Amino acid sequence: MTAYQDFYIHFKGEEGSEYSLIVNEMKIELNCYILGSPAGGTGTECGHEIESSKISEFLLNLKLNSIEEWEDKIRKYDLVQWRKLHLLMQARQTTGWIWNETD
């Protein structure tokens, strides 16, 4: 894989959900706060990582040729696209964690 510039993007939806994306040569990392919790609380926090050896495969799943192409697109994402990214990263993660708030 060719070298690229690291980047960080933070998105906050009007309803309160938040997504933070960190991309560097070691991994793609998405940290989320999503309203609602299966445990009955107000929200769910989670994190998903795709290690460097899987980044090319991940980009192919997005039908993209490079990290730079993806960065250009993701900077324009709306809440629906961030939610879809969350589900895709969750399905393809190499490492992840989740914490559900309770009442």
pLDDT tens per residue, range 44-85: 999 999 999 999 999 998 899 889 999 999 999 999 999 999
- Predicted pLDDT of residue 45: 94
Does any domain span residue 49? yes
- Predicted pLDDT of residue 39: 81
pLDDT tens per residue, range 1-45: 455 789 999 999 999 999 999 999 899 999 999 988 888 888 899
Does any domain span residue 44? yes
Query: Hey, is 10 helix, strand or coil?
Result: strand
Does any domain span residue 11? yes
Does any domain span residue 64? yes
Please, are residues 28 and 93 in contact by the beta-carbon 8 Å criterion?
Answer: no
- Predicted pLDDT of residue 90: 94
Domain count, the chain: 1
Please, are residues 86 and 24 in contact by the beta-carbon 8 Å criterion?
Answer: no
Does any domain span residue 95? yes
Residue 51 belongs to domain spanning: 7-100
Does any domain span residue 2? no
Does any domain span residue 1? no
- Predicted pLDDT of residue 1: 45
Does any domain span residue 86? yes
